[in-house]
Amino acid sequence: DIQLTQSPSSLSASVGDRVTITCRASQTINTYLNWYQQKAGKPPKLLIYAASNLQSGVPSRFSGSGSGTDFTLTISSLQPEDFGTYHCRQSYSLPYSFGQGTKLDIK
């Protein structure tokens, strides 16, 4: 089974900051990686699919990169509405799996 490890587990940043979250897979997953944002009491919302493709309607300050085992989600200029928990998910092989999540607070 493929394990995904996100770092950091939590972070606090200021409006306007550049924020980077990483997701490392225990074996290669090509680019079969999605990034989600989740707010309290809500289902996850897709931000990035196939590692680097911005989902329609998602602000362009969000971007994704990586392939193989190492992936990055970047928020170029943090906005107040970007607080929440961010999850990565691999769909390269069954069983699919998620990272443990990164909780982002706004300072």
Partner 1 sequence: QVQLEQSGAEVKKPGASVKVSCKASGYSFTSYDLNWVRQAPGQGLEWMGWMNPYSGNTGYAEQFQGRVTFTSDNAITTAYMELNNLRSDDTAMYYCAVRGWYMVRGVNYYFDNWGQGTLVTVSA
CB atoms within 10 A of CB 6: 19
Let me know: does 74 contact 19? Beta carbons within 8 Å: yes
- Pick the piece of the chain touching partner 1 (CB under 8 A) from 25-33, 37-45, 57-65, 70-78: 37-45
Report if residue 49 touches partner 1, rule: CB under 8 A. Answer: yes
Closest approach, Cβ 6 to partner 1, in A, equals 9
Report if residue 64 touches partner 1, rule: CB under 8 A. Answer: no
Structure tokens at 28: 């290669």
- Pick the piece of the chain touching partner 1 (CB under 8 A) from 17-25, 52-60, 61-69, 71-79: 52-60
Burial 48-58 (b: 16+ CB within 10 A, else e): bbebbebeeeb
Among 20, 22, 92, 98, binds partner 1 (CB under 8 A): 98
Residues in the chain, total: 107
N-term to C-term CA, the chain: 37
Report if residue 89 touches partner 1, rule: CB under 8 A. Answer: yes
- Enumerate binding residues for partner 1 (CB under 8 A): 1, 34, 42-46, 49-50, 53, 55-56, 87, 89, 94-101
